[in-house]
Structure 1
Amino acid sequence: MPGHTPPADPRKFLRRLRTDAGAATAEYVIATMAAVGFAGLLIVILRGDEVRGILTDLVRNALTVG
């Protein structure tokens, strides 16, 4: 390849290629996206009238002393 100079120390070059730099950041992004998706799904589910009624009854029954 014209204009390409080989690295002075090939072992150092290969070590640099094997590093996991940025892997943790990518994992955080994936976990955050999954959490946001799950929160969105919960919001959609909890906005339904049937689920709201079930939760209201559950809380009302829990607070009733009887």
Structure 2
Amino acid sequence: MVNRWCARRYAEIATGLRARADAGMATAEYAVGTLAACAFAAVLYRVVTGGTVSGALQSLIERALDAPF
């Protein structure tokens, strides 16, 4: 009886410790993913606000607004 209780308690503790250890990894992975997304957004912003792309986007919008209905 005591032996089963000890085994069950050990399993509960071990499961809880494993779950807590993974929680930190998930947080670290989210942080790395967020950092990568911010870096990608910064690069995309620089490309879109550059002269060539900005001119092409402006031309595209002007043609769309001047289109006959």
Which TM-score bucket, shorter chain as reference?
0.5 to 0.7
| Structure 1 residue aligned with 2:56 | 54
CA deviation profile, 1:7-53 (whole Å, cap 9, x unmatched): xxxx56x9336741212211210110111011110111012111110
How far, CA to CA, are the matches of 1:65 and 1:17 in structure 2? 61
In 1: Cα distance, 2:30 partner to 2:53 partner = 32
- Aligned match of 1:63: 65
CA RMSD for the aligned pairs? 2.3
> Identity of counterpart residues, as a percentage?
38
- Structure 1 or 2: larger helix share? 2
Q: Distance in 1 between matches of 2:37 and 2:23?
A: 23
Structure 1, 34-43 or 17-26: larger mean CA deviation: 17-26
Q: Which runs of 5+ in 2 are unaligned?
A: 1-9
Aligned residue number for residue 41 of structure 1:
43
| Structure 1 gap ranges (5+) | 1-10
What is the TM-score normalised by the length of structure 2? 0.64
Q: Which runs of 4+ in 1 moved over 2 A?
A: 14-19
